[in-house]
C-alpha cells in the first residue's frame, strides 16, 4: 500500500497527466466533475491519468468550540486501456482517519453517444452529488439540504448507460443500482438525516431488489443548464425478513436543478422531493421516525467582484435553503418541527487560480420549533482541484 501511494504522489509531483479543472460556477454549460475530467484527459493518450482534490475547514457555531478539520483529501486515478475502454476510481481520505472508495467504475464506449458503465458510481440527483469538488460550489460546506435530503455523497454499485447528443443539447444517464439498506448495522432510516444512514457505499452491499436512477441535462440556451433527475425503488432488507411488513420501504425521488451564468453574475437552485411508502410499517417494525416525504430546495445568487479579464475571481454570494425530513409523516408519527429547517449563508469565494480557492461564509440556521435559538456559524477554509 505504501509503495502504491508513493508512486501515485510521485507521479503527481511530476505532473503526469494532471489537468486544470474547469470553472463550473461561472460557466455551467461546460461544467465537468472529477470523473468526467479524467475521462476527457484520457481521450488522446493511453495509460494512467492522475488528479485530486482536497479541502480543509474551520467551523465555529454559537456556544461551541471551533472545529478544524482536514475534511477530505481525494486521489483520482484514471486508466485508458484502449480507445473504447477506461477505468475511473476516486479514493477519499476523510477527517484524516477514514478511507473510502467513492467511485470505481469501468466505461466502455459503444458509440460516440452511448457509454456502458458498471461499478461504484454516483447517483445522479441534483447538482452537488455529482459536482462536489470544492472549487465547483460556493460556501465552505456543501449545501445542507444536499446532506440531509439527497443525501450527498450518494453512490452505489450498478450498471447503466450515459452519453450526450450535442445536436439536441442533451446529456443523459440511466442506471440500475442496489438501493439503500433498511438497517445499516445499528443505524436506521429517519431522523434529521432522512435516508442518509441507508447508503451502502459499495461496502459489502446487500441487494434483494433493483433500484433505478436517471438524469437529463439540457444545455441548449446560452449560459443556462437545466437538470431533471429521478430515482425509484425499495430499500434492501435481510432475506429472512423481506416478506414482513415494515422490513423495507419504497423510495421515489425527483429533482429539478438549474444553473445560470452571464458575465460576472451566476445563479443556481434546486428542488428535491422524496416520497416514502410503507414508512408507518417501517417505524413500527424498527422503532424509528422516518417521514413519509422528504423535501428541500435552495436558491443562490453570486457575483464576481473582480474584472472579467483577471484570472483571479472574488465571488460574493448569498444562498437560502429550506429543507424538511418530516415534510409529511404517516400513521401516528407526529411531525418533528426541529427537522423543518432553513438556512441563510452569506460569503465569499476567492479563486486565486483555476482549481484553487479560499472560502469564508457566515450562516444563520433556524428550525420551525417555536422559540428555538438561531444558530450562527462562521466557516473558513480552502479547496483545491487538479
- Condensed to tens digits (0 to 9), the pLDDT of residues 100-115 reads 999 999 999 999 999 9
Tell me, what's the pLDDT at 12? Answer: 35
Tell me, what's the pLDDT at 9? Answer: 36
Percent of the chain past pLDDT 70, that is, above it, reads 93
Tell me, what's the pLDDT at 10? Answer: 38
Tell me, what's the pLDDT at 39? Answer: 86
Whole-angstrom CA distances from 5 to 19, 50, 105, 133 are 19, 12, 20, 21
Tell me, what's the pLDDT at 23? Answer: 61
Tell me, what's the pLDDT at 40? Answer: 83
Give the mean pLDDT of 18-30. 63
Give the mean pLDDT of 197-213. 96
Tell me, what's the pLDDT at 16? Answer: 37
**Residue range 65-114, pLDDT digits in tens:** 999 999 999 999 999 999 999 999 999 999 999 999 999 999 999 999 99
* CATH level 2 (architecture), domain 2-385: Beta Barrel (2.40)
Tell me, what's the pLDDT at 43? Answer: 63
Question: With 80 as the cut, is the pLDDT of residue 191 above it?
Answer: yes
Structure letter (DSSP) for residue 132: -
Whole-angstrom CA distances from 235 to 91, 278, 333 are 26, 11, 20
Give the span between the Cα atoms of 298 and 138, in whole angstroms: 13
Q: Which conformational region is residue 82 in: left (phi greater than 0), alpha (psi within -120 to 50 degrees), or beta?
A: beta
**Residue range 162-174, pLDDT digits in tens:** 999 999 999 999 9
Average per-residue pLDDT in the chain? 92
C-alpha cell belonging to residue 376: 450562527
26 pLDDT band (50/70/90 cuts)? confident
Tell me, what's the pLDDT at 4? Answer: 38
Q: Which conformational region is residue 77 in: left (phi greater than 0), alpha (psi within -120 to 50 degrees), or beta?
A: beta
- Residue 168 or residue 24, greater confidence: 168
C-alpha cell belonging to residue 189: 432510516
Question: With 50 as the cut, is the pLDDT of residue 286 above it?
Answer: yes
The residues near 40 (Cβ < 8 Å, ≥ 6 apart) are 19, 32
Tell me, what's the pLDDT at 254? Answer: 98
**Residue range 327-345, pLDDT digits in tens:** 999 999 999 999 999 999 9
Tell me, what's the pLDDT at 82? Answer: 92
Tell me, what's the pLDDT at 287? Answer: 97
Give the mean pLDDT of 322-326. 98
Q: How far is Cα of residue 173 from the mean position of the Cα atoms in its chain?
A: 16
Tell me, what's the pLDDT at 32? Answer: 86
Question: With 50 as the cut, is the pLDDT of residue 2 above it?
Answer: no
Entry pTM: 0.91
Give the mean pLDDT of 192-205. 97
Tell me, what's the pLDDT at 25? Answer: 76
Give the mean pLDDT of 231-243. 96
- Going by C-alpha positions, the residue among 148, 244, 243 that lies closest to residue 198 is 148
- Going by C-alpha positions, the residue among 48, 66, 51, 67 that lies closest to residue 19 is 51
C-alpha cell belonging to residue 34: 472529477
Amino acid at each position: 500500500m505504501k509503495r502504491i501511494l508513493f508512486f501515485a504522489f510521485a507521479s503527481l509531483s511530476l505532473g503526469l497527466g494532471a489537468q486544470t479543472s474547469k470553472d463550473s460556477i461561472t460557466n455551467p454549460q461546460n461544467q465537468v466533475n472529477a470523473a468526467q475530467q479524467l475521462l476527457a484527459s484520457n481521450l488522446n493518450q493511453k495509460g494512467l491519468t492522475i488528479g485530486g482534490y482536497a479541502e480543509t475547514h474551520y467551523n465555529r457555531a454559537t456556544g461551541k468550540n471551533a472545529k478544524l478539520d482536514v475534511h477530505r483529501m481525494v486521489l483520482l486515478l484514471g486508466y485508458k486501456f484502449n480507445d473504447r475502454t477506461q477505468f475511473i476510481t476516486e479514493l477519499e481520505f476523510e477527517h484524516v482517519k477514514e478511507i473510502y472508495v467513492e467511485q470505481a467504475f469501468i466505461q466502455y464506449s459503444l458509440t460516440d453517444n452511448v457509454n456502458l458503465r458498471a461499478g461504484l458510481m454516483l447517483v445522479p440527483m441534483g447538482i452537488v452529488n455529482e459536482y462536489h469538488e470544492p472549487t465547483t460550489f460556493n460556501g465552505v460546506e456543501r449545501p445542507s439540504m444536499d446532506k440531509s435530503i439527497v443525501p450527498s455523497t450518494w453512490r452505489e454499485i450498478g450498471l447503466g448507460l450515459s452519453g450526450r447528443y450535442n445536436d439536441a443539447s442533451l446529456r443523459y444517464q440511466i442506471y440500475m443500482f442496489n438501493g439503500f439498506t433498511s438497517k445499516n448495522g445499528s443505524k436506521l432510516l429517519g431522523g434529521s438525516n432522512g435516508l442518509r444512514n441507508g447508503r451502502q457505499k459499495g461496502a459489502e452491499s446487500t441487494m434483494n431488489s433493483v433500484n433505478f436512477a436517471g438524469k437529463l441535462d439540457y444545455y441548449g440556451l446560452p449560459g443556462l443548464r437545466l437538470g431533471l433527475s429521478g430515482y425509484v425503488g425499495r430499500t434492501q432488507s435481510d432475506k429472512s425478513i423481506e416478506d414482513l411488513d415494515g422490513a423495507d420501504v419504497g423510495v421515489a425521488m425527483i429533482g429539478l436543478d438549474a444553473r445560470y451564468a452571464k458575465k460576472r453574475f451566476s445563479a443556481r437552485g434546486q428542488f428535491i422531493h422524496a416520497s416514502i411508502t410503507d414508512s408507518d410499517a417501517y417505524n413500527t417494525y424498527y422503532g424509528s421516525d422516518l417521514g413519509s416525504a422528504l423535501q428541500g430546495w435552495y436558491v443562490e445568487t453570486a457575483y464576481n467582484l473582480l474584472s472579467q479579464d483577471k484570472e483571479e475571481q472574488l465571488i460574493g454570494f448569498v444562498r437560502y435553503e429550506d429543507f424538511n425530513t418530516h415534510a409529511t409523516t404517516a400513521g401516528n408519527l407526529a411531525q418533528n418541527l426541529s427537522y423543518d429547517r432553513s438556512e441563510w449563508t452569506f460569503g465569499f469565494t476567492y479563486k486565486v487560480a483555476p482549481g484553487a480557492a479560499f472560502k469564508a461564509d457566515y450562516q444563520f440556521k433556524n428550525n420551525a420549533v417555536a422559540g428555538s435559538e438561531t444558530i450562527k456559524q462562521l466557516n473558513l477554509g480552502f479547496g483545491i482541484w487538479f
